[in-house]
Structure formats: structure tokens, C-alpha cells
């Protein structure tokens, strides 16, 4: 296990280093510097501005400085909001994004698992067809379409929840639902397949042969074994949610990272774009790592085989 973690960490560091390097050189090649909006400055003034952002140094030195700064959590200063640090901006906006993501993840996976479980227990029955159909719709229809439907019907027509903005828990309802539908559908389909496979396995027959009742067979023997592989989809789901928040936050005008990111793209605020991208990358890599470790903790086969 220890060796495995070390190996994973090494890969993680290489990947991050590559992404950071790539990001840095990208910034160098992109049109648009702090000067692009101020090209009427005199040469001296330009030099002052360049020096202020450290852009007068040779590229290798800039690269070195950038990396050192990154290690200290300093991702530069926004072009747009004068002198505001990218790190501060991200930290200011992380709250709503995390809240939406967590709510959607928890609601989506738990409801999805229940739906999949019902499907598997009533295999080939009406409930199964109903929930499978729901899952196909949830998996196929893009979250922004759901967002539109919710906004128009639940928000505008029925007026049950606020259509946009942020503040009370009511504001989180519609964006959470719009985000939760995809993980719900995926969890439901995955749970159904896994559960059906588990229920067909020999050890379930062994359990039944012991006289265990249906409830015990399903929950004591079935669900636990079906849940283990479900962990593998949690990573991709979390990453999907990251993609989802970019869109959903914009539709519902939620002041999160995603909304800021899109704004920055439209205003060519490269330090924020790059900083947020790096942040996403770190987040992504950490999620994958955590899921991997979680898998090891939950499955006794992996936990013990590698502990020995």
C-alpha cells in the first residue's frame, strides 16, 4: 500500500509540474498583457508596469519565479481587478461552488443508489423499467437543459424558488437539482448493473441456502458488494460536477468559481483563467487520489492484500 501511494504521489507531482509549466508558457504566448488595455503609455511607464508584474526579466527567470510563487500558493494578480490576488479571488468564490457540488453529489448519489437498488430488486418489473427510463433521461439530457426547465417552470411559472442569485438555502435548490440529476442517473444505472451481477453470484445463493431472508440477502450480502465498484464512478462524477458548476453557476448567477471563470474568459483575464485552471487540475488530481485510497480502505481484498 505504501509503495502504491508513493507511486501515485510521484505521478501527481509530475502531472502538476507539467500542467503548471504548460500554463506558464501558454500565458507567454497568449495575446494580452497588462499593457494591452493601456497602450498609450509612454515607454517609461510601460517599463514600470512590466517591472511591476515581473515581466521585464528573461523568460527562464520569470518561469522560475512563477514556479516558486506557485509553491507558495501565489498565482499572480488579476489584470481586471487591479491588484487583487488570484488566490484571494478563488478563495472568495470557492464557498458557493463547493456547497453546490457537495449538495448535488450527496443528493445525486444517494437517490441514485436507491433508484438503482429498487430497479435491481424489482428486476424486469414496472418499477425497474420506470427507473431505468428515468436514468437514461437523466444521463442524456444535458444539465443546462434541466436548468432551463427548472428555471422556467419551477422558478418563473410556479415561483416556488428564486430563479437566480445566491443567499438563502432556497437559492441553492434549483441549481442543486440541476447538478444532481447527472450523478443520480449514473449512480442509478451503475448500482442496478452491479446489484444484478452481485445478486446472481454464488455467495448470494450460499446466503439464501443458510436461510437468510430477502432483506438480509439484499442488504447484508448484496449492497455492500455492489457499493465497492460504485466508488470507482465517484471520481468521474465529481469531475463531471466540476464541469457542471461552470455552466450551472452562470445560468443561476451563483457567485462561485465557475461564474468567475467564465467572466474572466470573456474579459481575457489570463491570470485568473490560468489560476482557476490550475486550481481545477489540483482539485481533480486530489479527487482521483482520494477515491483510489478510499477504494483500498473499503474493499478488504485490496486493503489486506497490500497491507501484508
Candidate residues 156, 165, 286, 297; the one interacting with another protein per rule CB under 8 A = 156
Shortest Å distance, C-beta 109 to another protein? 19
CA distance 92 to 75: 14
Candidate residues 4, 64, 102, 152; the one interacting with another protein per rule CB under 8 A = 152
Shortest Å distance, C-beta 151 to another protein? 6
Q: Which of positions 80-109 make contact with another protein (CB under 8 A)?
A: none
The answer to whether 262 contacts another protein (rule: CB under 8 A) is yes
For the purposes of burial, counting CB atoms within 10 Å of the CB of 164, is it exposed (0-12), middle (13-18) or buried (19 or more)?
middle
Question: Of 5 and 285, which has the nearer Cβ to another protein?
Answer: 285
For the purposes of burial, counting CB atoms within 10 Å of the CB of 297, is it exposed (0-12), middle (13-18) or buried (19 or more)?
exposed
Grid coordinates of 93: 468564490
Grid coordinates of 66: 512563477
The answer to whether 19 contacts another protein (rule: CB under 8 A) is yes
Instruction: Give the CA angle between residues 108, 225, 211 to the nearest 5°.
Output: 120
Question: Of 51 and 145, which has the nearer Cβ to another protein?
Answer: 145
The answer to whether 142 contacts another protein (rule: CB under 8 A) is yes
Cβ contact 19:276 at 8 Å:
no
Q: Coil, strand, or helix at residue 176? A: helix
Cβ contact 47:56 at 8 Å:
yes
Question: Of 49 and 281, which has the nearer Cβ to another protein?
Answer: 281
The answer to whether 246 contacts another protein (rule: CB under 8 A) is yes
Shortest Å distance, C-beta 110 to another protein? 20
The answer to whether 23 contacts another protein (rule: CB under 8 A) is yes
Site string for another protein, 276-305 (x = CB under 8 A): -x--xx--xx--x----------xxx--xx
Shortest Å distance, C-beta 45 to another protein? 28
The CA–CA distances, whole Å, from 198 to 27, 132, 182 equal 51, 18, 24
Phi, then psi, of 77 in degrees rounded to 5: -120, 145
Cβ contact 235:287 at 8 Å:
yes
- Beta pairing partners, 85: 77
DSSP-assigned states of every residue in 41-61: S-HHHHHHHHHHTTTTS-HHH
CA distance 30 to 36: 11
The answer to whether 209 contacts another protein (rule: CB under 8 A) is yes
The answer to whether 9 contacts another protein (rule: CB under 8 A) is no
Shortest Å distance, C-beta 24 to another protein? 11
Interface with another protein (CB under 8 A):
11-12, 14-15, 18-19, 22-23, 26, 29-30, 136-137, 139-142, 144-145, 148, 151-152, 156, 163, 201-203, 205-214, 220-221, 224-225, 228, 239, 242-243, 246-247, 250-251, 261-262, 265-266, 273, 277, 280-281, 284-285, 288, 299-301, 304-305
Amino acid at each position: 500500500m505504501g509503495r502504491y501511494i508513493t507511486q501515485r504521489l510521484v505521478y501527481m507531482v509530475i502531472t502538476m509540474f507539467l500542467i503548471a509549466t504548460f500554463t506558464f508558457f501558454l500565458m507567454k504566448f497568449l495575446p494580452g498583457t497588462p499593457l494591452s488595455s493601456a497602450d498609450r503609455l509612454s515607454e517609461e511607464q510601460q517599463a514600470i508596469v512590466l517591472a511591476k508584474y515581473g515581466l521585464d526579466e528573461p523568460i527562464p527567470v520569470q518561469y522560475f519565479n512563477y514556479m516558486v510563487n506557485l509553491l507558495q500558493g501565489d498565482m499572480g494578480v488579476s489584470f481586471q481587478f487591479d491588484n487583487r490576488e488570484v488566490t484571494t479571488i478563488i478563495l472568495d468564490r470557492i464557498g458557493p461552488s463547493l456547497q453546490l457540488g457537495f449538495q448535488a453529489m450527496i443528493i445525486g448519489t444517494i437517490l441514485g443508489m436507491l433508484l438503482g437498488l429498487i430497479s435491481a430488486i424489482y428486476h424486469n418489473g414496472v418499477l425497474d423499467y420506470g427507473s431505468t427510463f428515468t436514468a437514461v433521461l437523466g444521463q442524456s439530457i444535458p444539465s443546462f437543459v434541466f436548468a432551463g426547465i427548472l428555471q422556467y417552470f419551477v422558478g418563473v411559472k410556479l415561483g416556488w424558488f428564486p430563479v437566480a442569485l445566491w443567499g438563502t438555502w432556497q437559492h441553492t435548490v434549483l441549481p442543486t437539482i440541476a447538478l444532481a440529476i447527472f450523478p443520480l442517473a449514473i449512480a442509478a444505472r451503475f448500482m442496478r448493473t452491479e446489484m444484478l451481477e452481485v445478486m446472481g453470484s454464488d455467495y448470494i445463493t450460499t446466503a439464501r441456502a443458510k436461510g437468510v431472508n430477502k432483506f438480509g440477502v439484499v442488504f447484508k450480502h448484496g449492497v455492500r458488494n455492489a457499493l465497492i465498484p460504485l466508488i470507482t464512478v465517484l471520481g468521474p462524477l465529481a469531475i463531471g460536477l466540476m464541469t457542471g458548476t461552470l455552466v450551472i453557476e452562470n445560468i443561476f448567477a451563483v457567485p462561485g468559481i465557475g461564474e468567475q471563470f467564465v467572466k474572466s474568459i470573456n474579459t481575457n483575464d489570463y491570470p485568473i483563467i490560468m489560476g482557476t485552471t490550475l486550481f481545477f487540475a489540483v482539485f481533480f488530481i486530489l479527487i482521483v487520489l482520494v477515491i483510489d485510497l478510499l477504494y483500498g480502505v473499503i474493499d478488504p481484498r485490496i486493503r489486506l492484500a497490500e497491507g501484508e
